[in-house]
A and B are shown apart, each in its own frame.
Chain A
């Protein structure tokens, strides 16, 4: 970690306009409604490491992924990739070199591959788009190399996606993502649609590729055990905010934020230790109308008056941050 982090995210926010149509608003005298999907999220990823982002559905983790690759324009804050502020790259052509260096893997290997294209064309697309190789023979050679890298056979390039199982399709997605020699992969729930035995294959493959190619990952998942296995750092999101992030071992052995503790406690116990789980009351509130103060206070066993009033600021805790009044006041 001697070098500067590859990715720096600072106070990143994204608000979506979810207002009813203009005329309806006019008739009802209602204002605009905003969904604050991501609010002031900050973290950084050192080169060659993995940052895992966890949280329940609707917490904004996928929006962060899309902001990082600039599929969305942020409402506020900055994303810096290798020191370059992405907001300054406001033309298609200035963004292009970054697009080559950053690739994405999606959750659903059925939806993310064009069913009418042969696998070789799917994998060759980034090579052709970025004009990395001109000669068709070289492209074919590269495709074979990529297929081998993800443990498929070069002959599979002639097939169509429907001829493959879910796990094999995810390998194809990975081969496509690797085709442009990226440094950074954003993986949005890459194993959530897969069976456990296949998930293990994909996780092992991703770790192997990281070692061999020095890749940096932003790994998004709702599964804490998967994140524990693959990540060097873990960030926990709740209602659009990063409530805590830390080095993986630290976060799992000494979780600080009550929400992190709750999540860890909710994992079914495979060791049959007979540990009693503290059931968590309540559900995630709507991000359109989040609670005042700390967004977690209605479900938090440590909530006090201050938590209802005042939003806790993220504070550094060694190699990480936590946003909680109770932690700050050393109540927990």
Chain B
């Protein structure tokens, strides 16, 4: 880690809000993280945690009235969050590729898949049409589509779900972007197909040297794919760190609860650990730590002050349990802790 060059993507204090008649809803609140070149960052959280909105905000695809209300996004040293739509459009596709959950929404049903690939290639590179078509066929072959020279002239509806997702991956990778934002790329697929797509995405990004922001609710997919993982809760980062650290030594009580609630094969347990209640709606985010009403270890301070991300080993955790200044007081008030490592 002696590299001095800047990370590929830097997100600083990102805030996304939705102005409504009854006040402003903050959907992403003060989120900061970075992705290094060639790295896979997993972003997990339950529905409504703000993980997809974070992705959309980075690529400038927030649906109005959603808007970036604060913070900065830097791609390869260049600030991109305040660029006019025309310039952002050039970055999308060329420097940042995208893979969404439902391949049908990313593919135009009226275009043959070849046309979409060729169009993208011709927009972002100086290939002429025959060369772009040639490239498109080789890309389809690369993502594992059998007989690509025939398939290139077919429409999306003629492909199965897994095959469509392969086309979308080809589309995302076609001009060698530095970053791929993959939003639940395997959620709509069956397990056996999911394994194929994850393997493919991982292999291709390695070969093309692209970094990946992998947004998913599936911890299993993260464990298989990511180098680092960011856990989001109610629009905030709860914990971010190396995937092994976060999964095996979850520090934040939310991460800990989340890991415990996943049923695992081979694990003999009559009951799963459960986190009581559910994630608050955006209109009802509590004061202090957003997780405190569901947290088994919450204290007075958690109800009043919002914890900042603090370094803890190789991870960063936003939880008052890990506040150094409070360390002495904690040991007396804290019940038998379920955390494996309390710092």
By beta carbon, the residue of chain B nearest A280 is B192
> Residues on A close to B: CB < 8 A?
56-57, 165, 167-168, 195-201, 203-204, 207, 222-226, 228-230, 252, 262-272, 277, 279-280, 283-284
A268 touches B218 (CB 8 A): yes
**A252 to chain B: closest residue by CB:** B265
Complexed CA–CA distance, A201 and B261 (Å)? 8
Chain B residues packing against A (C-beta within 8 Å): 46-47, 160, 162-163, 190-196, 198-199, 217-221, 223-224, 243-244, 247-248, 257-258, 260-267, 269-276, 278-279
A269 touches B220 (CB 8 A): yes
B265–A224 touching, CB < 8 Å: yes
**A267, B191: Cβ atoms closer than 8 Å:** yes
Q: Within 8 Å CB of B224, what residues of A?
A: 268-269
Q: Label chain A's interface by main secondary structure.
A: helix
Contact B265 A284 (CB under 8 A): no
In the complex, chain A residues whose CB is within 8 Å of the CB of B47: 195
Q: 30 pairs across A/B with beta carbons < 8 Å? A: A56-B192, A57-B190, A195-B217, A196-B46, A197-B258, A200-B260, A200-B275, A201-B274, A204-B271, A207-B270, A223-B263, A224-B265, A225-B263, A228-B263, A229-B263, A229-B267, A229-B272, A230-B263, A263-B191, A264-B265, A266-B191, A267-B220, A268-B195, A269-B223, A270-B219, A270-B223, A270-B264, A272-B244, A272-B248, A283-B162
Contact of B264 among A56, A198, A225, A279 (CB under 8 A): A225
Q: Residue of B at shortest CB range from A284?
A: B190
Interface centre among B261, B267, B272, by most chain A C-beta atoms within 10 angstroms, is B272
CA distance A269 to B191 in the complex (A): 12
For the complex, what is the distance from the CA of A169 to the CA of B194, rounded to whole Å? 29
Which 4 residue pairs spanning A and B have beta carbons closest together? A268-B220, A200-B261, A195-B46, A229-B263
B217, A196: Cβ atoms under 8 Å?
Answer: yes
Residues of A within 8 A of B247 (CB): 270, 272
Question: Are B274 and A268 in contact, with the CB atoms below 8 A?
Answer: no
Per the bound structure, the CA–CA distance linking A135 and B12 in Å amounts to 62
- Cα-based distance from A154 to B49 in the complex (angstroms): 29
Inter-chain CA distance A168–B277, complex, in Å, is 9
- Residue in B162, B193, B199 with the greatest tally of chain A CB atoms within 10 Å: B193
* A200→B221 CA distance, assembly (Å): 19
Q: Other CB < 8 Å A-B pairs besides A200-B273, A224-B191, A280-B192, 15 of them?
A: A196-B46, A196-B219, A196-B258, A199-B261, A200-B262, A201-B276, A204-B274, A225-B263, A228-B265, A229-B269, A252-B265, A266-B192, A268-B221, A283-B192, A283-B193
A residues in contact with B267, CB < 8 Å: 229
How far apart are the CA atoms of A182 and B195 in the complex, in Å? 39
Chain A residue nearest to B244 (CB atoms) is A272
Given A229-B263, A272-B244: A56 in contact with B190 (beta carbons within 8 A): yes
